[in-house]
Amino acid sequence: MDNVKFWAVIPAAGTGVRMGSSIPKQYLSLAGRAVIEHVLDVFIAEPRIAGISVAVADSDPYWSRYAKSYAKPVRTVNGGEERAHSVQNVLLSLGDELQADDWVLVHDAVRACLHGGDLQKLMRTLESDPVGGILASPLVDTLKQVDELGYITGTPSRSGVWRALTPQMFRFGILSAALEKAIDSGDLPTDEASAVERLRPGDVRVVEGRSDNMKITRPDDIAVAESILARRQEGRA
């Protein structure tokens, strides 16, 4: 399977309500560049990634600034109402280009701190797997269940609990079928692994990734992400 393709998918149609910004969080400035530029850099730098498809909202006035010529194909696809719709739109656009056994790596548009070593580890670990899996990190914090009034109602065990990260890497045919089934049922998954888990229970693998592969969601996350990137630039992380 030396000719298998690896294609990156970046769902970027979200509005970033929790950030409280006037522009979507994937376009916020991070260390002097847009968040999404840092994301693109990691995939462009990885030689085995054949191309990247970015799903953006129809009314997005910002993406055109970054939809330029890169060292490998970077395509624009119309996003959907929810993440699952955006990813499905990308997969449909790739239907004539990818085979069922090719790989799709879906990555959050706001995870700008993905380390190239983690991307390589994910691809190397899963490349012979029949289904695929995700980057994830073991949970180290204590979990609390809380009611609608803000009172703690329980402390679940964290044993065997991991934080799902991205990329999430699956065979093109399996992910396409899983998302189609989920969307048709009306029970939309919050990530690609959830859809595949329903189609192939027990077959989705976890590959341990760095805990600093953070998702920029709230205003103070920008400062944390900048610190992570600065340490890497200085060779300290």
Mean pLDDT, each 10-residue run in order, the chain (237 residues): 89 72 90 96 98 96 92 96 97 97 98 98 98 97 97 96 97 98 95 98 98 95 97 83
In angstroms, the CA 133 to CA 164 distance is: 10
Helix, strand or coil, per DSSP, at residue 184: helix
* 102 in Cβ contact with 7 (< 8 Å): yes
The pLDDT of residue 235 is 81
Copy the structure tokens of residue 213.
């592969």
* 171 in Cβ contact with 102 (< 8 Å): yes
Distance of CA 190 to CAs 88, 164, 182, 207, 222, Å? 13, 11, 11, 19, 23
**Domains of the chain and any CATH numbers:** 6-233 (3.90.550.10)
pTM of the predicted structure, to 2 decimals: 0.94
Which phi and psi angles does 132 have, rounded to 5°? 135, -165
Q: Which residues contact 9 (CB under 8 A, 6 or more apart)?
A: 52, 53, 55, 87, 90, 91, 104, 105, 106, 107
